[in-house]
């Protein structure tokens, strides 16, 4: 039993950093892959999940997560894992252990649950779970041997919330994206023109003020009062 267990691979997440010179935001996670003997190559697939139950939330975070987990009466019961991304990696030949990097794409699409969650996190860490699968290739007695990566190979990591925001700011400094229907864009564009407003932010801000929504999450009370005045 111990010999069989020792031949199974194990994977740990060592750290994370911003991906540079990429067309879209991404975070690079440094992996340590260990397996007994010589591995000719490995194809790893990974599902990255946000373990929402793995941390505590303050009042502001709970408000920003209302759309995902509901109000105070529902919040703790509604917490659930959220799939962030699927990623893959080809690992080169190694003996016993190798370190490599897994690129995980980031999105600011607030229609996506992971985007909503990560946008809501301003401080602290985001608890992540990496669930691996894939194939390992070994050469034994002159023949290629194919071995599946066991379903129970996983790893945990706590991502600093600021790192995701830095990845966003690298591509969308100080901003984000909201998907709108074409008809809504046409109506918003018409309002912007009639009101002689220069930016989309000004147009949406004016509409929010007229709807009495300036008390939105994150707007200080004194700013809200000044806007109404």
Cα–Cα distance between 82 and 94 in angstroms, integer?
A: 33
Would you call 65 exposed, middle or buried from its count of C-beta atoms within 10 A (0-12, 13-18, 19+)?
buried
pLDDT given at position 56: 94
| Per-residue pLDDT, 225 | 45
Q: What is the pLDDT of residue 7?
A: 62
Pairing mode of beta strands 26-39, 10-18: antiparallel
- Locate CATH 2.60.40 in the chain: 2-171
CA angle 152, 49, 11 (to 5 degrees): 40
Mind spelling out the 3-state secondary structure of 161-226? HHHHHHHHHHHCCCCCECCCCHHHHHHHHHHHHHCCCCCHHHHHHHHHHHCCCCCCCCCCHHHHHH
For the beta carbon of residue 142, count every other beta carbon within 10 angstroms.
Answer: 5
Q: What is the mean pLDDT of each run of 10 residues along the chain (229 residues)?
A: 56 94 86 92 96 94 93 92 95 94 85 88 95 91 87 95 87 68 80 80 82 55 45
Name the fold adopted by 2-171: Immunoglobulin-like (2.60.40)
What pTM did the predictor assign? 0.75
Instruction: Give me the residue label for tokens 């591995």.
Output: 39
**Residues whose CB is less than 8 angstroms from the CB of residue 123 and which lie 6 or more positions away in sequence, other chains included:** 161, 162
Burial label for 183, CB within 10 Å (0-12, 13-18, 19+), is exposed
Report the SS3 class of residue 126: strand
CB-CB contact of 132 with 149 (8 Å): yes
């Amino acid at each position: 039993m111990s010999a069989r267990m020792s031949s199974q691979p194990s994977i740990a997440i060592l750290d994370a950093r911003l991906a540079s010179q990429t067309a879209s935001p991404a975070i690079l996670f440094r992996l340590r892959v260990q397996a007994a003997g010589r591995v000719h190559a490995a194809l790893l697939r990974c599902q990255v999940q946000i373990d929402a139950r793995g941390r505590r939330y303050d009042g502001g975070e709970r408000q920003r997560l209302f759309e995902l987990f509901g109000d105070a009466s529902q919040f703790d019961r509604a917490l659930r894992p959220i799939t962030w991304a699927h990623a893959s990696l080809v690992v080169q030949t190694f003996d016993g252990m190798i370190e490599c990097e897994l690129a995980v794409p980031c999105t600011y699409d607030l229609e996506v649950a992971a985007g909503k969650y990560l946008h809501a996190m301003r401080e602290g860490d985001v608890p992540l779970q990496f669930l691996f699968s894939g194939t390992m290739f070994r050469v034994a007695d002159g023949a290629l041997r194919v071995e599946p990566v066991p379903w129970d190979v996983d790893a945990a990591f706590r991502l600093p919330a600021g790192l995701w925001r830095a990845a966003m700011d690298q591509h969308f400094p100080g901003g984000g994206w909201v998907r709108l229907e074409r008809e809504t864009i046409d109506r918003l564009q018409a309002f912007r023109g009639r009101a002689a407003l220069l930016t989309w932010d000004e147009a949406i801000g004016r509409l929010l003020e007229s709807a009495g929504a300036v008390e939105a999450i994150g707007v200080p009370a004194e700013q809200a009062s000044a806007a109404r005045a």
